[in-house]
């Protein structure tokens, strides 16, 4: 039996922070990845980065964060890559970013977490190769956390 | 990298348009249009979206989608004959 190695590094792409579960899930995923030895880098707009900085003042969960546009620039210019890319999408814009990252990082594992009030409709737009975790979630992260844990093989 | 707000642009489709709506609008409303992939640099910005991304050209005007994480995608038009010519040379006709 082959035991899959955890990815060496992961990139978390965060959407606009207007849906509360994203913040909790981002910290949960970052913590879970780091526990298994994966280096984590996060990118988002200034608002979402400030929320995370306040929640994680010593940078224990998210040691490296960057403005999204700068991150995309580095990926396009081949200065940044990753083994695992996780994109949070609760809007059409999130799917656009996921599609962009699929194109720019063709050999990375791409997991798109699709949440919010109407995730099924959004999931239908993501017709490019990726793994999708789809769950209606706005304020309550418990069900979608369970799905995330299943996909990544993490204990609850 | 530049900032889109530094450009004098006209909004063709408002904030909140989907990337699909932007592509269809360009294909239906502009005689000259070209396709690029995400990460294509236009006006010093990297274009985000589901490939292929449609760019319209109307004389010296470039019509392109621009995505903001909070608001979605909207379609902009910017007068810039040099950039329009660069699109003609670097983009493709086929999807």
Report pLDDT digits (tens) over A50-107.
999 999 999 999 999 999 999 999 999 999 999 999 999 999 999 999 999 999 999 9
Domain borders along chain A are 13-149
pLDDT at residue A150, as a whole number:
97
Compute the average pLDDT of residues B16-38.
92
What ipTM was reported for this prediction? Answer: 0.88
| Nearest residue on chain A to B48, alpha-carbon basis | A100
Measured between CB atoms, does A79 come within 8 Å of chain B?
no
Tens-place pLDDT, residues A24-58 = 999 999 999 999 999 999 999 999 999 999 999 99
pLDDT at residue A1, as a whole number:
52
The alpha carbon dihedral of A31, A36, A37, A43 has a sign of: negative
Residue A144 CA to its chain's centroid (Å): 13
Q: Which CATH superfamily is domain A13-149 in?
A: MTH777-like (3.40.50.10160)
- With an 8 Å Cβ cutoff, are A70 and B71 in contact? no
Per CB-CB distance under 8 Å, the chain B contacts of A93 are 48, 67-73
pTM (predicted TM-score): 0.93
């Amino acid at each position: 039996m082959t035991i899959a190695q955890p990815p060496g590094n992961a990139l978390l792409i965060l959407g606009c922070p207007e849906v509360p579960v994203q913040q909790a899930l981002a910290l949960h995923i970052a913590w879970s990845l780091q526990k298994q030895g994966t280096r984590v880098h996060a990118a988002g707009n200034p608002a979402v980065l400030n929320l995370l900085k306040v929640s994680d003042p010593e940078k224990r969960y998210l040691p490296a964060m960057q403005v999204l546009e700068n991150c995309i620039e580095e990926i396009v210019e081949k200065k940044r890559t990753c083994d695992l890319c996780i994109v949070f999408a609760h809007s059409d814009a999130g799917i656009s970013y996921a599609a962009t990252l699929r194109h720019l990082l063709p050999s990375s594992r791409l997991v798109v977490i699709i949440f919010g009030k109407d995730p099924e409709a959004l999931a239908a737009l993501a017709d490019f190769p990726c793994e999708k975790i789809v769950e209606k979630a706005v304020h309550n992260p418990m069900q979608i956390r369970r799905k995330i844990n299943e996909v990544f093989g993490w204990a609850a | 990298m530049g900032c889109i707000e530094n450009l004098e642009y006209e909004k063709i489709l408002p904030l909140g348009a989907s990337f699909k709506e932007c592509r269809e609008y360009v294909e239906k409303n502009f005689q000259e249009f070209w396709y690029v992939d995400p990460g294509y640099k236009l006006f010093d910005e990297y274009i985000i979206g589901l490939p292929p991304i449609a760019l319209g050209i109307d004389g010296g005007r470039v019509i392109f989608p621009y995505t903001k994480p909070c608001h979605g995608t909207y379609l902009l038009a910017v007068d810039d004959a040099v950039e329009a010519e660069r699109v003609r040379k670097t983009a493709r006709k086929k999807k």
